[in-house]
Chain A
Amino acid sequence: MSAFDTFADRVSIVAEKVDDNKYLSVVKNTFTVLMPFIIVGSFATLGNSLLTSETTGLAQFSALQFLTVLEPAFTAINFATMNTMTLAVIVILGWILGERNNENGIMCAVVSLSAYIAVVPQGVETMVDGVESLASGLPVATLNAGGLFIGMFLTIITVDFFCKLNKIEKLQIKMPPSVPSAISKSFSVLIPIFITLFVIAIAGRLFELATGLYINEALYQFLQAPLEGILQHPAGIIGLVIISQVFWLVGIHGGLVISPIRNPILIAALAANIAAFEAGQTPGQVITMGSWVTFLVVGGAGLILSLNIALLLFSKKDDLRAVAKIGLVPSLFGISEPVVFGLPLVLNPIFAIPFVLGSGIPAAIVLVANQWGFLGSNIVDVPFGLPIIIGAFLGWGINGVILQVILIALGVLIYLPFVFLSNRTMSADA
């Protein structure tokens, strides 16, 4: 047991460090704020394909053809949420981090936004009569999910730098007490904003001179794109699921711990799918936030629905069956805690293997099903908390439902040998 305890201690310390890390925790909270906009944006795309499209939507019927006039509005909603999410992330993150630094949140948000716009290209290459020219405007790549990582990094650097400057008394322009406080507040941050923006913009320019790339292009190419690739790769995504399960094994919410890394990348994947769909191409990122909640942790992290079914069908232990009964309905909604803590699965030597390693199998199957062309990449976000079948149908249609049922059944088979083992070995009060 003591080896198990040491292991639990070490994992808990990692979880605590991640949770305590200022930057990881503000990034996590940023994406919690952003989530409803992502869902709305993806539903706008769904609205286009179900209603206004003349090939797939209701508008294909001549009586309803007038619906096509709404298409630009739906596309605009998607553009305003998904395709410009980097701007929203910068504002939210700048605000939250600023408040966390005990500074004026909105001021930090605006400084971050200015700093970001100051280092990205401010022109769009266009072809006019066969001649390349530069029109003013921000390239979509700086606004959409492609700018997420540089946007987050730059916001963190900007806000921390700005807040440090703000704390220096000598940099504050003091107004006489008779000046209204709103005005004197704007003046007191004038020099810190001046320094922050000049430093960031000049650093950005020097980077561009040195490398020939804008910093957003470089960061996307050398950091964000590889990370995105890793999570679409079997080893990467299976590894991440297993890491999350290791936290669960010691009773810590694994999804919560990995969310600062997972959420930005998998939300970017959904955005890429939607962008591809809107451009008339086939979406190619099968691992998204939606497929995580629908398939990778089907029935609750650790395939809990499958475990409940296996226990109810084959367990001879009354107390285990009782827990499975309590946990059954929550697990239909992807909630695993009643079983994780009630059975308990925490540090449970018998169920640890399927609970941790078995959870990698759905990820592998999703990737294979995608390769075979059975499962497409979703463009409609599937939020956590939807019951099984419904979530799968929303994101992937009938094929999604079939795959989900297969994964649940497979989960039952994975747990079965261990349920039989528990019949023989686990004591009645386990």
Chain B
Amino acid sequence: MRIMLACAAGMSTSILVAKMEAAAKEQGKDYKIWAIDQSMIERELGNFDVLLLGPQVQHTMRKVKKIINGTVPVAVIKAVDYGRGNGAAVLKHAEELIEGGQA
């Protein structure tokens, strides 16, 4: 499973990526998780199975949905999980999105 996160510059989100990777490893899951700047989403199309937006760029959701065009699920990370670096919760969120087949 390939989980991509997007925020402004990809800096604060990369903190969460580390936490999510740790949570995935603990659960024995081999996921690819990474963070990018929100302007780069278009270039990564096809490289990810689920896209999570940092809450600080939630205002770009409509534009992002247009770019994704229904190919994969996309959602905004819950603000408190994001802020407190709750990697396990965000990981579960990503898994649910994929299982939900929101695509």
Contact = CB atoms under 8 A, between A and B. Distances in A.
Contacts of A106: none
B56 A338 contact: no
Nearest to B76: A251
B8 interface: yes
Contacts, number: 83
Interface stretch (A13-21, A84-92, A121-129, A172-180): A13-21
A310 to B, nearest CB: 17
Interface stretch (A144-152, A153-161, A200-208, A341-349): A341-349
Interface residues of A, number: 34
Which of B55, B58, B84 has the most chain A CB within a 10 Å cutoff? B84
Given A255-B8, A384-B9, A337 B80 contact: no
A337 B39 contact: no
Interface in B64-93: 79-80, 82-85
A341 B79 contact: yes
A16 B60 CA distance: 6
B59 A337 contact: no
Given A12-B59, A252-B59, A253-B56, A338 B15 contact: yes
B97 interface: no
Interface string B3-19: 00001110110010000
Chain B contact residues, majority secondary structure: helix
A323 interface: yes
A340 interface: yes
A32 interface: yes
A256 interface: yes
A322 B80 CA distance: 13
A29 B9 CA distance: 11
A32 B80 CA distance: 29
B83 A337 contact: yes
A251 B58 contact: yes
Nearest to A346: B79
Nearest to B57: A253
A346 B55 CA distance: 10
A385 interface: yes
A328 interface: no
Contacts of A252: 56-59
Nearest to B84: A342
B22 to A, nearest CB: 14
A376 interface: no
Given A19-B63, A20-B63, A253-B56, A330 B80 contact: no
Interface string A17-43: 001100000001100100000000000
Given A19-B60, A20-B63, A29-B39, A330 B84 contact: no
Contacts of B80: 341-342, 344
A15 B79 contact: no
B15 A330 contact: yes
Given A341-B82, A342-B83, A19 B9 contact: no
Interface string A325-342: 011001001011111111
Nearest to B56: A253
B47 to A, nearest CB: 19
Contacts of B60: 16, 19
- Which 9 A/B pairs are nearest by Cβ-Cβ distance? A342-B83, A341-B83, A337-B12, A253-B56, A15-B59, A341-B79, A342-B84, A16-B59, A253-B8
Given A338-B83, A342-B80, 5 more contacts: A20-B63, A256-B8, A256-B56, A256-B57, A327-B83
Interface of A: 12, 15-16, 19-20, 28-29, 32, 248, 251-253, 255-257, 322-323, 326-327, 330, 333, 335-344, 346, 384-385
